Structure 1
Amino acid sequence: MKKYKFKINGQTYEVEVGGFDGSNATVSVNGTPYQVEIQGEEKKAKTPVLARKPVVNKPGEGQIKKNESSGAAYKINSPLPGTIKKINISVGATVKAGECVMIMEAMKMDNNVMAEKGGVVQAIKVKEGDAVLQGDTLVEIA
């Protein structure tokens, strides 16, 4: 409990403020307890205000355009982001399932990119030294 002394019109009052229950409080004035309702503005949380203007992109800005070809070709996609280190195949070559088609460096390690299905290489979408993201198409096999 907090104790206060008030002087009103020359009269001194000893006030003890007890516990709060929502907007009600227990107050003792000169030993007499009272239940009082507190009125006033509630404190509002301050929300930060954005001080800069919102970024507005031009149409098509910030989008990566991927070269997609039509047809029923099987696509070998990049398993993770990295850099193409070596390409072991060429367009028109026949590959078998499980054959290493290229080596890519990711997280400072060389990773073999394998063909999951066999067939004839229709297109190679990357060249040595290219940086690729996860899911980018690397090779198309028909």
Structure 2
Amino acid sequence: GKSLKYLALSWCNLGIEDPLQLLASHLPDLTYLSLNRVSSAGILVLSAGCFPKLKTLVLKRMPNVKQLEIKKGAIPAIDGIYIVSLSKLNMVPHGIESLETLKKLWMLDLHKDFKAQWNLNQMHNKMKDVPELRV
């Protein structure tokens, strides 16, 4: 399991667990992680040093997620983040602007207040080095 590189989970109910925290310590070699229709904790945290080889993160249709935190030193090799249809996510993910390797960021079909928060925090300026930005 530790050498697993690609993982896509769909239609899972993890109760109040944070799938990112659950998987990070067990799967250090992951390069692709997709969570689709996963019921989980309301706050997801990417801790420092987690997923050191992850290139692509997809979070899609996760009905409970209100907040995403990216700690300094988390996902250091990330290339693309796709956050789609998280209807309760109304805040800009904390720490997202510190991801220096990010080339693609999609944040689509989120909570109705998300875009206002994005603009209020002047995120387009903070993320200007990301070549493909869709919000």
Q: Per the shorter chain, which TM-score range?
A: under 0.3
When normalised by structure 2's length, the TM-score is 0.18
Higher percent of residues as helix? 2
Structure with the greater alpha carbon radius of gyration: 1
Higher percent of residues as strand? 1
